Structure 1
Amino acid sequence: MTDVARVSRGRAIAIAICAAVIGVLSYVLGVGSTTGQQAEASVLDAATFTMDPPAPLNLVSVSSVALALALIGGLTIAAHGFRRAFVIVFTAGFAILASQLLKQQLLTRPGLFEFDAPNTFPSGHMTVFTALLAAVIWAVPPRVRAVVGLVGALVIGAAAWQLLAFGWHRPSDVLGAQALVLLIFALLTVFHPPRLGAPAALGATARVILTVLGVIAVLVALAIAAFAALDSASSLLLIAGELGVLGTGLLTTRCLLALAG
């Protein structure tokens, strides 16, 4: 095993462990505790529910996801070959299906606060956006990967914000979906590390930008949440949740860029 492969696998293992811990904590604290359920219920109460949200949230459908995966497969074949295209499309599709299996069959939502509240963990929509972004990052040539990551971070950040703002999901649902996709692509990197060539153009700069902005957003969200808890302000909790999932989306993208090399 080359030193590059060792570094790639070591980084992927560390990211996989962090993603698994975050995903489990999201479920245990957000879904499995009375305090978490009450806090997230306050977030939902403050949201403005609508069945007709704007883009990017309204772009998700079975046909659009299938088309996106097909286009990503074709792009990957052109840039890297058929083998990598198969691996990427399969992994993204697996993440999306795993999300549905977890939400509908394997995970439950105990009635600690809201009786008969349906389980929405992890968010299927957030899984779709994050998995497609991960696939695109792996699909494109290194020279444009950083730009794709920055643009993609804005898209999944907007989707995460919308999922809370329009009352479709709780914060733990969004965070759990991001962690699930990151875990799956990290495991992919452990067993199938990418062949690293020249460093991606602006890769280090993009990772720094995403890290700084993501950490700031999460810290501000935690501060607002603490103040909202003291003041029992559900509207502030919603803002905290929106900023929080926006920040974790930026950090998730940063990790996906690191996994892709």
Structure 2
Amino acid sequence: MLHAMRGWPFGLVLWLLLLGAAEAYGFKQVWHFFVQTEHGQLLDYVALTGNSIGRARVETIVDRVLNGISILSLTVATVVVGFIALIRRRVALAVGAILLIAGANVTTQVLKALITRPDLGIDPERAGVGNSLPSGHTTIAASVAVAFVLVLPAKARATGGLVAAVFAALAGVATLSAGWHRPSDAVSALLVVAGWAAAASLFIVVVQRRHGGVEYGPPSTFATGFLTLVSLGLLAGAAIALYLTDQDLDVAVDDLSRSRLFAAYAGGALGIAGTAGLVVASVLFTVHRVVPRVVPPLVDDDEDGDFGGPRPVPAGDLPTVSHAIADPIAEQETVRLSAQELSTERVIHPPDDPTVKLPG
């Protein structure tokens, strides 16, 4: 057992556990503030009301994005994700990626059914709709995007991560622009996906580590750093917009200026985009270790009674096979001796040939 534990990435496992716990805590805080409190509901309401400004300019793009997100597209994307992992001969990766997509979407639907939104008199027009947190469309888009980051080959991972972040952000912002969801709905959906990404990564690490040592590929340092900085900048902009909106909460929404409404709406969009970027960046940060470049095959080894220690065959334990090469014409066999014995070759002829070629 001690041999099986040797070389385990305890730092990576601890990081994934802490990351998952932080994302669960973040979800709880978003739910509590924006659903359970009057202050949070009002901030969400102002941002959602501001989506009417400039809607005509983005309506076509928004409709295309949202119409492309469906159960059918989710199914097709899941099959493609699994196929990519399997053609790379990574069964654990295929299972983990599918687990991420399925777990995130089921969790979102369960939470949406269990969470109740109290009617605090903030948004009477939508009070009858009930709870809308987390966003199902955002969960579908983000879970597929993150799963693709996991299964893509290392050479395509950085570019794929940037595309995944843009797609997840675009889907989340589209739900706000269409008036389907509040900003907190999309942000909480992204946190659900992030939590399942950490869980799926942990699963992949544990399963692959049964093989023993693995070979890691290069990290996506530039893409991760770039995405992190951009996301933090977006979240800083969202915080400023949130602060400005908070200063006018004592004013009736109908009396707010267009600039204030747009600032609230833009702040919500920036918050969604920034969260999406950080979620993908957190996956890029560890994916080169979660999905290593080389995973050796399992080999049973019970010599030392180590029942938990299947490990790869060392290079020195591989069997050596030698072949005797015969001359099809003269049926002569060539024997190469060591330098200590002879520095030339001795050619041994068949018994019926009395001639022997001696060295020197």
Provide TM-score, normalisation by structure 2.
0.67
| Deviation (angstroms), 1:213 | 0.4
Note if contact 1:79-1:140 (Cα within 8 Å) is conserved in structure 2. no
2:106 is matched with which residue? 97
Letter in 1 for 2:43: A
Amino acid at match of 1:34: E
- What's the counterpart of residue 223 of structure 2? 206
Q: Does the CA contact (< 8 Å) of 1:126 and 1:160 recur in 2?
A: yes
Superimposed CA distance per residue, residues 112-141 of structure 1 (whole angstroms, 9 cap, x where no aligned partner): 233434211101011111110121111111
Q: Does 1:7 align with 2:11?
A: yes
The correspondence for 2:115, drawn from 85, 88, 107, is 107
Q: How many residues are treated as equivalent by the alignment?
A: 259
Normalised by the size of structure 1, how large is the TM-score? 0.91
Of 81, 85, 89, 2:94 maps to 85
Shift of residue 10 of structure 1?
Answer: 1.6
Q: 1:47 to 1:84 in 2, by over 3 A?
A: same
Distance (whole Å) between structure 2 residues aligned to residue 159 and residue 198 of structure 1:
32
Q: Which whole-Å CA distance do the structure 1 matches of 2:198 and 2:76 have between them?
A: 24
Task: Output the CA distance in 2 between the equivalents of 1:217 and 1:4.
Answer: 36
Matches within 5 A, 1:133-144: 133-144=145-156
Q: Which structure has more helix as a fraction of its residues?
A: 1
* 2:68 aligned partner: 59
Deviation of 1:2 after TM superposition, in Å, equals: 4.8
Q: Which has the higher contact order (CA 8 A, sep 6+)?
A: 1
Change (3 A) 1:130 1:3: farther
Bigger Rg, which one? 2
User: Identity rate of aligned residues, in percent?
Assistant: 24
Asked if the contact 1:80/1:139 (under 8 Å) is kept, the reply is: no
Alignment root-mean-square deviation, CA: 2.1
Q: Which residue of 2 aligns with 1:70?
A: 79
Pair 1:227 & 2:244 matched: yes
The residue type equivalent to 2:285 in the other structure is A
In structure 2, distance between residues paired with 1:67 and 1:86: 16
SS at match of 1:193: helix
Distance (whole Å) between structure 2 residues aligned to residue 186 and residue 166 of structure 1: 30
Change in Cα spacing, 1:167 to 1:2, as seen in structure 2 (3 Å) is farther
Question: Helix, strand or coil for the counterpart of 1:109?
Answer: coil
For 1:23-80, what per-residue CA distance to the aligned partner results, in whole angstroms no more than 9, with x for missing partners? Answer: 1111001111111111111122122379973333221111111011111111110124
Match of 2:32 among 28, 33, 41: 28
Aligned position for 2:351? none
Gaps of at least 5 residues in structure 1 are none
**How far apart are residue 5 of structure 1 and its match?**
1.9
C-alpha change, 1:103 and 1:91, in structure 2 (3 Å) is same
Q: Give 1:42's match in structure 2, choosing from 27, 46, 51.
A: 46
